[in-house]
Structure 1
């Protein structure tokens, strides 16, 4: 059986061999991911690929290129646009102008439930006309989404409330970092890989992070306190496909990709929720012989944090308007979807428990 490879050459033209393949030939999609082939996200992405192959009867397969071997994280959107890869993991933070609308997923809105957030952003990216136009302009098609889970702080000292943030040296980024600075923190920028020695040496007091990442980078070894904020999520982080490659698929293949991508949302949410609980419990109960103190902000203090975040949301909407995007309308659509899925969750519970 011959293989039809949809990898596009430089200007987006299909390889002659690809066009010449018969309907019986399998289609191989080259997928670029910036991360290593390990951990829950990689395992869930592999599930997505396995399901595509299974449901297509082997007619459609995914060939992974992990660790930025094909395209680095910052280069993925451009590489997908020109057909260097057929599909890949796109991080909106790296493309603030090209995907200004999609970056709404990284805003500190009141949205800390993984399933609610994923469903809301997936629906927005799939249906909102402004976002679809943005993706069209980049010559990509949105398929499905990831999430980091809610944002917390891991610190070398107790941080019990909003007032304790004043004067703290906190590694943070994006609108969350700006909100923390608004609350009086001394915000500093650095990669997660540099956080461990910075916490250990006292260069910083706290780090903006998520439970799974705190554990993965073993930051609990040098910082024994977690301020549990459950503050928004970073979600401008998803699976996209080159538009020409997508359109070259048969109707049946596209139906499979879309169905699996929709199911991926529930699976990703379940994996993240269960992993968060496991990581949190491990820290509280004692991990590597060390118990971590977890302190949850009071509702009054959490409201102060959310208010600081809301000012960054408003600033984003104004900046978006300046670039020709109706940020206020997009934000209203997003928040309405969050509210709708939150109501569904309250009424029916998670899909995997129904």
Structure 2
């Protein structure tokens, strides 16, 4: 943590020197592995601005973009060690130490970004075991992002319109999602999104899992003819963490401001994601994005079959938590209940920005 001392006003009166100083401003260093562009960068800057607003300018957040301070994969360790005060962390980049946080990556039928992020925020700020696991790593959770749900993009005449279509296809996928697709007869391989375009173009893979934003960012619509919109699960162990020692040194008012800023960010980020997804989908259907492709809504009954197929792998996470001395099933049940809670709220009341 860095401190900048405000200016000192000095005056002389009757031979006496009088000095007054403004309160010290607290400047927190933030490690961000992504670039300063796109919806998530806007959300992160919104978080920083909200912290400054809620503390009346007493706390500011200095974001180091594009891995300038440390890479995204190294951020959990850097925040834990105090190299950065805060940073963007993903459970998949430190699965052993952030095993509890990885609950957000388990496949479910819930993928709405507002629902997932709100469920994760409530879980991570109220569940004593989750709070304790972060504290054991010298971390404090402040807020959440999400990837949105997975879709399937296929080249040539290949298409995925039901669970039966996975059999025999070569599909780019990763993590537990790859395990589920393997169980359903697919042959999966993992690669970075930067390599997916070439893999589809050359036929190295028949299909890929992806998101609306990756289709736009990596132009995969140029080499994929069929998009199946499944919105399956997604990455939810994706958020903001702070060094616990630095957090504990703050006043209670400043601590609450940081947590509140993380919560406020979720609504605005989720709204941006939902609006962006709608624009990209419309562009794929019309061709305005650069090329028209077939867009198919993956059936809800098949999405439930995917969810059921994932249960055995979700159970592996439960067993991992049990082995660490926690009640893994209770934790998973709590998370599922929160997903249901916020999905029900969304359906009955709409999103907060629509009310």
Q: TM-score, normalised by structure 2?
A: 0.91
User: Deviation at 1:55?
Assistant: 2.8
1:236-255, aligned counterparts within 5 Å? 236-255=237-256
SS in 1 for 2:36: coil
Matched, 1:272 2:273: yes
Q: Which residue of 2 aligns with 1:144?
A: 143
User: Deviation at 1:276?
Assistant: 0.9
The 2-side partners of 1:348 and 1:126 are apart by 24
Gaps of 5+ in 2: 5-20
Q: Deviations over 1:22-78 (max 9, x none)?
A: 870111000001111111101110111112222322211111111111111221111
Q: Which residue of 2 aligns with 1:331?
A: 332
Q: How many residues end up aligned between the 2 structures?
A: 336
The 2-side partners of 1:213 and 1:143 are apart by 26
Q: Which residue of 1 aligns with 2:319?
A: 318
1:75-114, aligned counterparts within 5 Å? 75-114=74-113
User: Deviation at 1:204?
Assistant: 0.4
Q: Deviations over 1:70-102 (max 9, x none)?
A: 111221111111100000000110111101111
Larger Rg: 2
The 1-side partners of 2:234 and 2:289 are apart by 28
The 1-side partners of 2:218 and 2:207 are apart by 14
SS in 1 for 2:334: helix
Q: Classify 1:300/1:339 alpha carbon distance in 2 versus 1 (closer, same or farther; 3 Å).
A: closer
1:182-221, aligned counterparts within 5 Å? 182-221=183-222
The 2-side partners of 1:70 and 1:326 are apart by 37
Deviating more after overlay: 55-64 vs 316-325? 316-325
The 1-side partners of 2:118 and 2:133 are apart by 20
User: Deviation at 1:209?
Assistant: 0.9
The 2-side partners of 1:319 and 1:39 are apart by 35
User: Deviation at 1:259?
Assistant: 1.8
User: Deviation at 1:249?
Assistant: 1.8
Deviating more after overlay: 52-61 vs 182-191? 52-61
User: Deviation at 1:253?
Assistant: 1.9
Q: Which residue of 2 aligns with 1:10?
A: none
The answer to whether the Cα contact below 8 Å between 2:73 and 2:93 also exists between their aligned partners in 1 is yes
The 2-side partners of 1:290 and 1:340 are apart by 39
The 1-side partners of 2:313 and 2:298 are apart by 20
When the two chains are superposed, the root-mean-square deviation of aligned CA atoms in Å is 1.5
The answer to whether the Cα contact below 8 Å between 1:320 and 1:326 also exists between their aligned partners in 2 is yes
User: Deviation at 1:298?
Assistant: 2.2
The 1-side partners of 2:277 and 2:74 are apart by 30
Deviating more after overlay: 86-95 vs 48-57? 48-57
The 1-side partners of 2:162 and 2:109 are apart by 18
Q: Deviations over 1:189-240 (max 9, x none)?
A: 1111111111100000111111011111111111121111121121100001
Gaps of 5+ in 1: 6-21
User: Deviation at 1:300?
Assistant: 3.0
1:113-132, aligned counterparts within 5 Å? 113-132=112-131
Q: TM-score, normalised by structure 1?
A: 0.91
